[in-house]
């Protein structure tokens, strides 16, 4: 069939302007524990162009934010404002008008005494898109971590939440102490701990029983979590004596008495212990998570990061061994980083895992073995002790003479294993596949916190973490904190620490992360076993 052809000049579809796509998410960060942010909140952070975050937001949540995103601190603490509220509103409007994905990260829930309503009004007035992402409030979540349920069938069926920090421009308080004092059930006060004596006195005057149980929870759900209890008559003096300052949530009512039975969080074996973790940023989370599950105030203080090799001759040697990997009898991995670097390069050159040929695989430590298995390869040999010396003893049991052995490792790694295997007659290629470099980015403030506040313990999982930690302290012109214990993952790391003049307080018997955690627990709790 003949059809009449017509020449048409096709126009490209008109894309909506970037301005039309701008949106602001008002996200509740939760009470402090980074695990309590909602999945929706985490999703918003992961695709943000700009994040404006508060004083009470756990800065570890910024790990979810793209590295290219702009991060703006707008925090407010007692009598200290990084940015006035009006300027925060203007910034939200401006960034959203630019077509950006903006996240306003707010402690707790954005609509519970968080001025989120004012910010949403500013966005609505400018005809901009916004979304509210609720968060866990400390008024409930923070008290739950203290073992205090805000409601209980045996005690009450009503909850009243009020703020002790009102707009200072108001001439008369909007709090009706008569209503608060006589209302049944639990009362929870957010903020206002600095006015606690006055507030408690007003409640007593209005008719609340002097013997009403009261609890104060400070830095709720975090590693710095603290709780004190008293009565309405005594709590202000107790708080003053204990120097109990903001941020703090107060709860009034009989539910406080349930804390004696339900106090789960503060009974963990490492509760209240401040522990710094020096692993690389992408590896620290596992150790931090395990320590926090045991109650520690664990925080990441990465001293190194992993980078691709840069020297041309090293790149060429790496490419050569990867393309000829099938020629080796053994491939020996000494760390998960070496595994990742090797197999990522391997699959760039090979489409089929069988291209590895008949090479057998050895791994030092279960963490390294686990990483190998993620690439669907079996591990033929794991030494009983997770150090190079133990692996060498295993190789001594077999004849490795004239066998070709590949060691894909960090540039500058110690040469012991390569030399020892060559002494046994093996043909060894000791090839750098990644670099260990100092971590200079500490925007979360962990390094400053360590220098200012110290810690009960600092952990080291390799000699390089110890070396670079010493360099960081020198650059900060800060001495090693007094009364800070050290924990080493094994004898090789301990040896480097001692060479640097560091005392080794704890050394893991099993040279892996679970072994290190067990050693730390035993150090702080010598009379109990896990």
Q: Which residues are catalytic?
A: 54, 76, 191
Residues 6+ apart with CB under 8 A from 269: 294, 295, 521, 524, 525, 528, 530
What span, in angstroms and rounded, lies between the C-alpha atoms of 10 and 153?
70
Nearest to 524 by CA among 456, 460, 461, 458: 456
What span, in angstroms and rounded, lies between the C-alpha atoms of 102 and 92?
7
Q: CA end-to-end span of the chain, whole Å?
A: 84
DSSP tag of 438:
E
**How crowded is the C-beta side of 364, counted as CA atoms within 13 Å?**
23
Pairing assessment for the beta strands 186-190 and 80-81 based on DSSP bridges = unpaired
Torsion angle, alpha carbons of 267, 273, 276, 282, to 10: 0
Residues 6+ apart with CB under 8 A from 227: 146, 215, 216, 217, 218, 259, 263, 266
The side-by-side arrangement of strands in the sheet containing 274-277 is 297-300, 274-277, 457-460, 485-488, 506-507
SS3 string, 297-346, reads EEEECCCEEEECCCCHHHHHHHHHHHHCHHHCCEEEECCHHHHHHHHHHH
Place of tokens 């126009």: 11
Residues 6+ apart with CB under 8 A from 8: none
CA diameter of the chain = 98
Nearest to 145 by CA among 221, 35, 244: 221
151 token code pair: 């409601």
CB 334 within 8 A of CB 353: no
CB 322 within 8 A of CB 349: yes
DSSP tag of 17:
P
Q: Which class for 6: exposed (0-12), middle (13-18), buried (19 or more C-beta within 10 A)?
A: exposed
């Amino acid at each position: 069939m003949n059809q009449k052809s017509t020449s048409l000049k096709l126009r490209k579809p008109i894309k909506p302007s970037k301005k039309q796509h701008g949106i602001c998410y008002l996200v509740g960060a939760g009470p402090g524990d980074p695990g309590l942010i909602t999945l929706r909140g985490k999703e918003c952070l992961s695709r943000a162009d700009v994040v404006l975050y508060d004083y009470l937001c756990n800065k570890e949540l910024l790990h979810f934010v793209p590295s290219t995103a702009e991060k703006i601190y707008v925090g407010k603490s007692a009598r200290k404002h990084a940015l006035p509220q009006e300027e925060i509103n203007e910034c939200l409007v401006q960034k959203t008008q630019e077509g950006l994905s903006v996240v306003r990260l707010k402690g707790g829930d954005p609509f519970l005494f968080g001025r989120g309503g004012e910010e949403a009004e500013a966005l609505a007035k400018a005809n901009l898109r916004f979304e509210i992402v609720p968060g866990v409030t400390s008024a409930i979540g923070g008290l739950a971590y203290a073992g205090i349920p805000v409601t209980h069938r045996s005690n009450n069926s009503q909850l009243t939440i009020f703020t002790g920090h009102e707009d200072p421009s108001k001439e008369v308080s909007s709090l009706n102490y008569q209503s608060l004092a006589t209302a049944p059930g639990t009362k929870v006060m957010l903020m206002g701990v600095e006015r606690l004596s006055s507030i408690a006195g007003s409640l007593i005057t209005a008719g609340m029983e002097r013997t009403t149980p009261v609890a104060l929870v400070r830095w709720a759900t975090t590693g710095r979590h603290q709780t004190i209890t008293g009565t309405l008559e005594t709590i202000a003096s107790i708080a003053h004596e204990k120097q109990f300052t903001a941020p703090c949530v107060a709860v009034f009512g009989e539910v406080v008495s349930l804390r004696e039975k339900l106090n789960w969080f503060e009974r963990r074996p490492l509760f209240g212990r401040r522990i710094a973790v020096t692993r690389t940023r992408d590896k620290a989370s596992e150790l931090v998570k395990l320590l926090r599950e045991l109650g520690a105030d664990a925080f990441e203080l990465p001293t190194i990061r992993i980078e691709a090799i840069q020297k041309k001759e090293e790149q060429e040697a790496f490419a050569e061994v990867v393309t000829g990997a099938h020629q080796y009898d053994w491939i020996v991995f000494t760390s998960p980083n070496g595994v990742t670097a090797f197999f990522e390069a391997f699959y760039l050159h090979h489409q089929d895992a069988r291209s590895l040929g008949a090479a057998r695989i050895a791994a030092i430590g279960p963490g390294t073995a686990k990483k190998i298995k993620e690439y669907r390869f079996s591990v033929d040999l794991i030494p009983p002790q997770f150090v190079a010396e133990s692996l060498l003893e295993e190789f001594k049991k077999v004849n490795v003479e004239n066998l070709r052995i590949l060691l894909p490792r960090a540039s500058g790694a110690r040469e012991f294993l390569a030399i020892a295997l060559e002494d046994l007659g093996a043909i060894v290629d000791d090839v750098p596949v990644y670099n260990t470099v100092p971590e200079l980015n500490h925007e979360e403030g962990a390094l400053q916190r360590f220098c200012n506040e110290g810690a009960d313990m600092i952990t080291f999982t390799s000699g390089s973490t110890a070396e670079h930690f010493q360099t960081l302290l020198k650059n900060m012109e800060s001495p090693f904190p007094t009364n800070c214990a050290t924990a080493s993952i094994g004898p090789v790391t301990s040896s480097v620490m001692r060479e640097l003049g560091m005392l080794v307080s704890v050394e893991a018997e099993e040279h892996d992360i679970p072994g290190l955690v067990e050693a730390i627990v035993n150090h702080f709790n010598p009379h109990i076993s896990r």
